[in-house]
Structure 1
Amino acid sequence: MTSLEHPNDAIINWIRSHKKLIYLTADLSIIILTLTSIHILRLTGWLTQNAWAAIFYISALTVVAKQLLRHRRSLLLAITFWVLLSIGCYTTLSWIWGGRFLAGWTSEQSLNFKELLSSTLTAVGGIGAVGYLVIKYREQASAERAEVHQNEGEADKKLTAAVQQLGSNSPQVRIAGVYALADVADTYEGPYHQRVVDILCGYLRTDRLLKDANGDTRYATNEDGSPNYSLPISADNPVESTILSVLASHLRSSTTAEAKHQSRGPWSICTLDIHGAHITEHVNFDYAQIGEIDAHGIQLTQGASFTQTKFTNRASFDNSTFTQIANFWKSKFENEVSFRGTTFKQVAFFAENSFKQEVDFSEASFTQEVNFRGTQFLRTTDFRHASFKEKTDFSAVSFTQTPRLFEAIFSRLITFEDATFMQTADFRNTTFKGRTIFINCTFQGKTKFTATTFHQDASFQNASFMLTTDFGGVSFIHSVNFSECTFKNAVEFTSSNFSGDAIFEDTTFMLDAEFTAASFANQPSFEKARFNFSLKGAHRIIFPEQVNLNNNSLPPGAEWSGSQI
C-alpha cells in the first residue's frame, strides 16, 4: 500500500482481485453453517433428506446469485434467481404454518392423479408468474433508463443554450438566459440544481464593472467631483439583479407563510461560491435557507439583507466589504461562520442571532454602529484585534464559551448590559475609548481585564463575578462604578490606575480583594461595602497606603461581614 492509499481502498482492491477465493469461502461457510445447524437441531425433528434439500437449495441460490452479479443483464439468470428465492419464501412460510419443514411440498396422505395434476399446474403457473414479473420489471426498468438518458440529453441541450444566452452582448438575452437556467434546474432537478447555481455564481464572479478608455474601473463621483472608490459603476446591473432575485427565490419556500419561517427552497442544499465578486445591486436573502456559502473577498456596494436567514453549513465572509447597511437580524448560523478581516462601512445588525458553532470576527472593522443585542454565541467567539469605531451594543448577549475580545478597540459607547459570560471572559489589552457599560452582567467563569484601558466612564454596577477576577494593570482614566457588585471569588486590582472617581459602594467581596500598588487620584468610595470577616488580619484584603483606612483596617463606610455574606 502506498503512503497515499487509504486503508479502505486497499481492502476494496484486494476483494476485487480475489473474487474466486471469496466466493469459495462463502460457499464453504454456508455448507458448514448448514451442517452445524443439522447437528444442533437433529433432536427437534429434522430428517436427513430435509437437510440435504436445504444444502442443495442454498448452494444453488448462491451459485445463481454469484453469476447474476457477474452478468447483471442476463434475463435467464434473473428469472432463475427470483424463482429460487420464491421457492425459499414459499418453503419457509409453509414450514411456519404447517409445522413441518417440507409441509408445502409433501403430504402425509397419498394424492390421486387429479390432485397431483392440480398441484403441478399451480407450481408451474407460479414459476411462470415469477418469470413474467421479472420480464415486465426489466422492460419497465429499461424504459425508465431510456427516458432518463433522453431527459439528460434534453437537459444538457437546454443548459448549453441557456449558457450561450448568458454570454450574449445583449442584456435582454442574458436575462432570458438566467431564467432559462433556472427553468432547467426546476424541470430536471437532481444534479442540475448545483450545476445551475455554479453557473450563476460563476457569472457573478466575473468582472462586469464599467471601464474607461484606459481599461480602468469607473467610479461614482462625490459632490465635489472626486471619485468615490467605494462605489464602482457596473455595466450589468439588470442581469445581476435578476440573478440575485432568482437565487433568493430558490433559497426560500415558494409560499409566503413558509418563507417567513426559514423554510427550505430547492437550492438550499447547494453550495454558493461567490468569492471575490463585486455586487453593485441590493442583496435581499431575507428568510432564505442557505447551505454552504463562500463569500470571502466579496465587495457589496449596496445594502445586504439576511433577515432571519438560516445558514446550515459553513459560511465565509472573510476580508469582505459591506459598503452599505449589513442586516443579519435574527439569522441562525448552524455551522462555523467567519467574518475575519471584514469591513462594515455602515450600520451592522446582528441582533438576536444564534451562532451555534465557532464564529470569527477577528480583525474585523466596524466603521458605524453595530448591534449584537440578544445574540447567543454557543461556541468559541473571536473578536481579537477587531475595531469598533461607533456605538457597539452587546447587551443581553450570552457567551456559552470563552469569547476572545482581547486587544480589540472600542472607540465609542460599548454596552454589555445584562450580558452573560458562561466561561472565561477575556478582555486583556482591550481598549475602551468610549463610555463602557457592564451593568447587571454575570461572569460565571474567570474574568480577565489585565492591562485594559478605559478612556471614559466605566460602569460594572450590579455585576456578579463568580470566579477569580483580574483587573491588574488596568487604567481607568475617568470614573469607574463597581457599586452593588458581588465578587464571589478573589479579585485583583494590582497596579491599576484610577484617575477618576472609583466607586465600590454596597459591593460584596466574599474572598480576597487585593489593591496592591494601585493608584487612586481620589479617595475611593467603599460606603456599605462588605468584606469577609474570616479574612480579617490574614493579609488577603490589601489596600495601598494612599487609601484612608478606619480602625477596622477598611476604608471608611466599609464593614466586615460574616463568612457567609
Structure 2
Amino acid sequence: MGGLPLFAAIAIWAVLGIIAFLLAMCWLGRVPFWQLKLDPRKQAENIVKIALTLVGGVGAVAYLVIKYQERQQAGRAEKREKDRTVDTKVQDAINQLGSDKASTRIAGVYALTDIADRYKDSYRQRVVDILCGYLRSDRSSYAPDRSRQPVWDASGHLVESVASDEAVESTILSVMRDRLRKERKDDETGETIVQTVDDDQLWCACTFDLHEATFHEAVDLTYSTFERDAAFYGTKFERNADFRGAHFTGDVDFRGATFAGGAYFDGATFAGGADFGWAHFTGDADFDEATFTRGAYFYGAHFTGDAHFGGATFTGDAHFRGADFAGGAYFGGADFADDAYFDGATFTRGAYFYGADFTGDAHFGGATFTGDAHFGGATFADDAHFDGATFTRGAYFGDAYFADDAHFAGYAYFAGASFTRGVDFSGAEFRASAVFSGIQGPPSFGFEECKFNKISRDAYEWGPIPIPKDNDGLPAGAVWKDF
C-alpha cells in the first residue's frame, strides 16, 4: 500500500482483520457469521471482550504498519547512502584512471575491481563498462615540447613518446581473466578449469564491448567464459591473442579485427554466431578442435600465416567466401555438418582437406588453388561444387567419397574447372553422377581403384578423360560397383 496515507492503510488492514476474524469463526463453528448468537447472560461480558480484542487487533495492526513503513524508509535511506558512497568511490577510481601516472591508474583499476566484488549487482556491469571504455580510448602517450604541449608532426599527427600504457593494460586483462575463468570441465581434455574467485565475483554474465580497442600487450583470456554477447569488431591485437578453450555462449563479433601476432582459438566453443568477416590474421590462426554451433563467418578474411582448422566442428553453415589463405590452409578432419562455402577463396600455398566430412553442400566455385589441393579421404555426402575452380598444381582426391553428384566441369557444378597439373582420384567413390566434360587444361588423371556406381552408368560424362576399350567404359584403373 506504498502510496496510501498511513490512516487509510491502517483502516484497510483493520477491516481486513475483522473480516478474517468473522470468517474464521464461521468456519470453526460451521455457522454463518450473521447467525452467530451470544448468550444473553454473558452478552455484556462478551461484547466487552470482542471490543477489546478488536481494539487491540487494530492497535497491533497500526503498530506493525508504522514499523513496516519506518523500516522501508530506513531501507531506502540506507540504499541512498550506499549509492552515494559507491558513486563517490567509482568517481574517485575514474579520476585515478585519468592520472598521468601509470601506478595511479593501476590503483584505479583495483579500486573499480573491489567495487564490483564488494557491491556486485549492477555495479559489476558498470565497472566492466568503465574498464572496456578505458581500453577503447586512445591510451598512447605523446612527446611534449619544452612548454609541456603535445608535439605535432608535419602531417598533423601527434608524435608518440616511448612511454606507454602496457602496465595498466596488463592489469585490466589480468583482472578480466581471473573473473571470466569459470569452473567447468574442458570438453576436449576432460580437465577441470580452475576458478580463482568466488561465484558471486565472476563477470561471465556481463556484456563486453571492446570494439576498435588496441591491445599493445599479449591478450591471455584462455578458458574464459562469455555468457553474453562480446564485441571485438575492429579491435587490434598487436601481439598474441590467446582464447584457447574459451566458451562463447552469446554472439561474438571479430569483424575487421587485426591479429598482428598469433591468434589462438584452439578448442574454443562458439555456441552463438562467430563473425570473423574481413578479419586480418598476420600470424598463424589456430582453430583446431574449435566448435562452431551456429554460423561461422570468415568471409573476406585474410590469413597471412597458416590457418589451422583441423578437427574443427561446424554445426551451422561455414562461410569462407572470398577468404584469402596466403599460408597453408589446414582443414584435415574438419566436420562440416551444414553447407560449407569457399566460393572465390584463394589458397596460395597448400589446401589440406584430407579426411574432412562435408555433410551438406561443399561450395568451391571460383576458388583458386595455387598450391596443392588435398581432398584425400574427404567425404562429400551432398553436392560438391567446384565450378570455375582453378587448380594450378596437383589436386588429390584419393580415397574421397562422393555420396551425391560430383560435377567436374561443363555441365553444372564444376563448369570450366581448370587443372594445370594432374588430378588423383585413386580410391575415390562416386555413388551418383559425375560430369568431367569441359575440363580445361591437359592434366593426367589417376583413377586407380576408383569406384563408380553401376546403376548410374549412363550418367557419367568423361570429356577429355581417355577411356580404354578394355575397361568397360571406365578410365584406366576404375571399376564399376553396385552401390
What band does the TM-score fall into relative to the shorter chain? Answer: 0.7 to 0.9
- Equivalents in 2 of 1:185, 1:111: separation in Å? 71
- The 8 Å contact of residues 343 and 367 in structure 2, kept in 1 or not, is answered as yes
Q: Displacement of 1:328 after TM fit?
A: 0.6
Matching residue of 2:445: 524
Matching residue of 1:545: 464
- Equivalents in 2 of 1:152, 1:262: separation in Å? 25
- Equivalents in 1 of 2:19, 2:381: separation in Å? 71
Q: Which moved more, 1:369-378 or 1:179-188?
A: 179-188
- The 8 Å contact of residues 179 and 196 in structure 2, kept in 1 or not, is answered as no
Superposed CA offset, 1:110-137 (max 9, x none): 6724444334333332222222211211
Q: Are 1:86 and 2:17 matched, yes or no?
A: yes
- The 8 Å contact of residues 523 and 548 in structure 1, kept in 2 or not, is answered as no
Superposed CA offset, 1:250-274 (max 9, x none): 55579xx985399755462xxxxxx
- The 8 Å contact of residues 343 and 366 in structure 2, kept in 1 or not, is answered as yes
Matches within 5 A, 1:322-337: 322-337=237-252
Matching residue of 1:260: 195
Q: Are 1:313 and 2:228 matched, yes or no?
A: yes
SS of the residue 1:77 aligns to = helix
Q: Displacement of 1:350 after TM fit?
A: 0.7
Matching residue of 2:56: 125
Matches within 5 A, 1:208-357: 208-213=139-144, 215=150, 233-249=162-178, 251=180, 260=195, 266=201, 268=203, 289=204, 291-357=206-272
Matching residue of 1:503: 424
Matches within 5 A, 1:104-123: 106-107=36-37, 112-113=42-43, 114-123=45-54
Q: Displacement of 1:299 after TM fit?
A: 1.4
What is the TM-score when the length of structure 1 is the normalising length?
Answer: 0.73
1:175/1:530 CA distance change after superposition, 3 Å: closer
- Equivalents in 2 of 1:558, 1:394: separation in Å? 32
- The 8 Å contact of residues 292 and 315 in structure 1, kept in 2 or not, is answered as yes
SS of the residue 2:452 aligns to = strand
Matching residue of 1:431: 346
- Equivalents in 2 of 1:75, 1:232: separation in Å? 67
One-letter amino acid matched to 2:386: F
Superposed CA offset, 1:130-151 (max 9, x none): 2221121122222222222333
- The 8 Å contact of residues 213 and 236 in structure 2, kept in 1 or not, is answered as yes
- Equivalents in 2 of 1:431, 1:543: separation in Å? 27
Q: Displacement of 1:207 after TM fit?
A: 3.6
1:478/1:263 CA distance change after superposition, 3 Å: farther
RMSD of aligned residue pairs (Cα, Å): 3.1
Superposed CA offset, 1:521-540 (max 9, x none): 3431212222222222x3x1
Q: Displacement of 1:87 after TM fit?
A: 3.3
Matches within 5 A, 1:33-48: none
- Equivalents in 2 of 1:209, 1:90: separation in Å? 75
- Equivalents in 2 of 1:261, 1:533: separation in Å? 63
- The 8 Å contact of residues 450 and 477 in structure 2, kept in 1 or not, is answered as yes
- Equivalents in 2 of 1:166, 1:469: separation in Å? 56
Q: Displacement of 1:513 after TM fit?
A: 0.6
1:335/1:302 CA distance change after superposition, 3 Å: same
Q: Displacement of 1:83 after TM fit?
A: 2.0
SS of the residue 1:560 aligns to = strand
1:79/1:402 CA distance change after superposition, 3 Å: same
- The 8 Å contact of residues 251 and 274 in structure 2, kept in 1 or not, is answered as yes
- The 8 Å contact of residues 306 and 331 in structure 1, kept in 2 or not, is answered as yes
Give the paired residue count.
458
- Equivalents in 2 of 1:307, 1:217: separation in Å? 39
Q: Displacement of 1:237 after TM fit?
A: 4.5
1:409/1:165 CA distance change after superposition, 3 Å: closer
One-letter amino acid matched to 2:16: L
Q: Alignment partner for residue 436 of structure 2, among 509, 512, 515?
A: 515
Q: Alignment partner for residue 475 of structure 2, among 535, 549, 555?
A: 555
Matching residue of 2:323: 408
One-letter amino acid matched to 1:301: H
- Equivalents in 1 of 2:230, 2:161: separation in Å? 26
Q: Displacement of 1:510 after TM fit?
A: 1.2
Q: Displacement of 1:397 after TM fit?
A: 1.1
1:93/1:264 CA distance change after superposition, 3 Å: same
- Equivalents in 2 of 1:157, 1:261: separation in Å? 28
1:346/1:410 CA distance change after superposition, 3 Å: same
Superposed CA offset, 1:505-525 (max 9, x none): 222211111001114634312
- The 8 Å contact of residues 141 and 162 in structure 2, kept in 1 or not, is answered as yes
- The 8 Å contact of residues 449 and 470 in structure 1, kept in 2 or not, is answered as yes
Unmatched segments (≥5 aa) in structure 1:
1-67, 219-230, 269-288
SS of the residue 2:445 aligns to = coil
Superposed CA offset, 1:451-494 (max 9, x none): 21222222212221111212222222222222222211111011
- Equivalents in 2 of 1:249, 1:420: separation in Å? 33
Unmatched segments (≥5 aa) in structure 2:
154-159, 184-191, 410-415
One-letter amino acid matched to 1:260: Q
Q: Are 1:141 and 2:141 matched, yes or no?
A: no
Matches within 5 A, 1:385-404: 385-404=300-319
One-letter amino acid matched to 2:342: F
1:381/1:148 CA distance change after superposition, 3 Å: same
Q: Are 1:483 and 2:398 matched, yes or no?
A: yes
Q: Which moved more, 1:204-213 or 1:392-401?
A: 204-213
What is the TM-score when the length of structure 2 is the normalising length?
Answer: 0.84
1:325/1:557 CA distance change after superposition, 3 Å: same
Superposed CA offset, 1:402-447 (max 9, x none): 1111211112222211111111111111111122221222111111
Q: Which moved more, 1:341-350 or 1:231-240?
A: 231-240
Percent of paired sites with the same residue = 32
Query: Which fold has the larger relative contact order, with Cα–Cα distance below 8 Å and residues 6 or more apart in sequence?
Result: 2
One-letter amino acid matched to 2:473: S
SS of the residue 1:125 aligns to = helix
- The 8 Å contact of residues 350 and 372 in structure 2, kept in 1 or not, is answered as yes
Matching residue of 1:74: 5
- The 8 Å contact of residues 259 and 280 in structure 2, kept in 1 or not, is answered as yes
Q: Alignment partner for residue 86 of structure 2, among 155, 173, 176?
A: 155
- Equivalents in 2 of 1:535, 1:198: separation in Å? 62
